[in-house]
Chains A and B, each alone.
Chain A
Amino acid sequence: MRALRSEWLKLVSVRTTWALLGTMIVLEGLTAALVTGLSDLDDLRDRSVATLAIGTHLAIVFMFTLGALLSTNEYRHGTANSTFVVTPRRERVIAAKLAVGLAVGIVGALLYIAVNAGLGLSILSSRGIDVDSDTAVDTYLGVGTGLVLGCLFGVALGALLRNQIFTVVTGMVLFLLAGTAALFLGNDVGQYFPGESLLALNGTPGADKTLLTQTQGGLVLVGYCVVIGIAGMVLTREREIT
């Protein structure tokens, strides 16, 4: 619990956290409003549900980075020294970071959904397009889960790699190459790529290229977080802090 409180304080005591969340929300709001407000009506009728997931790949960049900073700031700013002197059971520190990543991931996902629903759905309905509520719930669940897992992925990968820039760039490659990974690696392998799994998890009809179901996509991402998170914990425990 002590480590958890400390990690939470670390997150909320720097402006970067608020800047990342704020920018994500503003960009999401802009994207949702512009796409639903300016797109051709016929286009929108065909792809109305897809607009619920509009900007997720932008949002995931912010959520992943937020998670990655939770882990890599320790090494970037040298606070790993005092952190691991105060809490010599280092795996507890990583576990606390994952828990905090989960919490802020949920906050980010809820903000995303609130903004998207508040702006996107109301603009759609003012233009005479109604989205089926079951579909909307499914999509938002997928998108929200994706953002939470993206944040956790960042925490885990950061604990494993330590270097801030390397971690963020790796994350971008893994998530943003969605749609191309399958192309290069073939579907059998490519569908399990994080970016592809995220597309499947979002569950939008525009993602008809994906081979996994929404649930499968989510499970693949959970698997990544668990494996990388455990590896990060074990390595952090064994590593020398120099």
Chain B
Amino acid sequence: MAAEITVGRLTKRYGETLAVDDLSFTVEAGRVTGFLGPNGSGKSTTLRALLGLIRPTSGTALVMGRPFHELRDPVRAVGAALDAHDVHPGRSGRGHLRTIAAAAGIPNTRVDEVLEMVELTPARDRRVKGYSMGMRQRLALGAALLGDPKILMLDEPANGLDPQGMRWLRDILVSLAADGRAVLISSHVLSEVEQTVDSVVVIGAGRLVMQGTLADLVKGDRRPILVRSPQAGELRALLEEHGASVAIDGRPDTMIVHRSTLETIGTLAAESGIPIFELTHERATLEDRFLELTGEKGNVR
């Protein structure tokens, strides 16, 4: 499938600060892509470049193969939500959407439709200053959906959502992607989007760390592996023969293995007929992997 978003060797420099550094990745239709990185890693800058709000220092940020300002009908091509706070607090939710709809030539009936989709109908005539963070996030998503766009770009859409809100967001994003849209959501907390995204683009310090599926993110994992087996001694010798370093962890049947993979250990044990009771990364959360990938580069510059 053709890429809906193509970032090619994108670099953005603000004075001395290199916000985005030679970044390349693509985002495809029909799936939710997580754009992950710590705060200050260049996610928002990249989104702003894609939306034509800032100019790249070098490289390209293309939407449907073109720079944003060359799109014929930007609102129907791309729906974006950059910050849930970007609303005049004195305007009603409905009033806010109407100003955007008017600028895009979208009828007010669509505004009410979208308010229904994001479940804000009961609050639509209230001023936004009284909205909770979750309601503001819904309103921002509503604004992005006004043009029924092919591409959605949402910057930290899960920020400030309660667990029900998260589930609601997940369901709506997954169904939007299932309809063939390209959905790009940024987050600095992997667990927020772990269950929503199909693929990930991970950046740190403005540079690409990896692009792939969630499974790819876990692959190549170098965290220690915990193995429990009644024949621990035998397995230990076997693993060491294959280059792993093994330490016994408290109990005689439990080992901590470095420099090996879950697959290698499992296969070796099976071939030698050694039973395994437990085989797992020591702390098997994606969060650790994420921090491991971005941590060294992720400091604020």
Contacts and interface: CB of A to CB of B under 8 A. Distances in A.
Interface of A: 2-3, 5-6, 9-10, 13-16, 73, 77-79, 81-89, 240-242
Contacts of B87: 77-79
A82 B143 contact: yes
B119 to A, nearest CB: 20
Contact of A81 (B75, B86, B89, B103): B86
B48 interface: yes
B74 A6 contact: no
A15 B90 contact: yes
Nearest to A96: B103
The A contact surface, by secondary structure, is helix
Given A9-B95, A78-B83, A82-B143, A88 B52 contact: yes
20 contacts: A2-B102, A2-B105, A5-B103, A6-B99, A6-B100, A10-B91, A13-B95, A13-B99, A77-B88, A79-B99, A82-B80, A82-B86, A85-B52, A85-B53, A85-B78, A85-B80, A88-B68, A88-B71, A242-B48, A242-B54
B104 interface: yes
A214 B151 CA distance: 56
A65 to B, nearest CB: 15
B69 interface: yes
B52 A79 contact: no
B102 A6 contact: yes
Contact of B103 (A3, A16, A78): A3
Contact of B89 (A3, A77, A83): A77
B100 to A, nearest CB: 6
Contacts of A73: 88
B92 interface: yes
A75 to B, nearest CB: 11
A89 B105 CA distance: 15
Contacts of A88: 52, 68-69, 71, 74
A9 B99 contact: yes
A13 B103 contact: no
B82 interface: yes
Interface in B40-82: 48, 51-55, 68-69, 71, 74-75, 78, 80, 82
A16 B90 CA distance: 8
B139 to A, nearest CB: 11
B85 interface: yes
Given A82-B86, A85-B53, A242-B53, 8 more contacts: A6-B103, A10-B91, A13-B96, A79-B99, A81-B51, A86-B100, A86-B104, A88-B69
B181 interface: no
Contacts of B85: 78
Interface of B: 48, 51-55, 68-69, 71, 74-75, 78, 80, 82-83, 85-92, 95-96, 98-100, 102-105, 143
- The list of the 9 closest CB pairs from A to B, nearest first, reads A78-B86, A6-B103, A6-B102, A13-B95, A241-B53, A240-B54, A5-B102, A14-B90, A88-B69
A9 B88 contact: no
A81 B74 CA distance: 13
Contacts of B51: 81, 85
Contact of B53 (A6, A13, A15, A84): A84
A15 B95 CA distance: 12
A214 B78 CA distance: 51
Contacts of B102: 2, 5-6, 9
Nearest to A87: B103
Contacts of A15: 90
Contact of A79 (B75, B78, B86): B86
A240 B95 CA distance: 27
Contacts of A240: 53-55
Contacts of B68: 85, 88
A82 B54 contact: no
B87 to A, nearest CB: 7
Which of A6, A73, A83, A84 counts the most chain B CB atoms within 10 A? A6
Contacts of A242: 48, 53-54
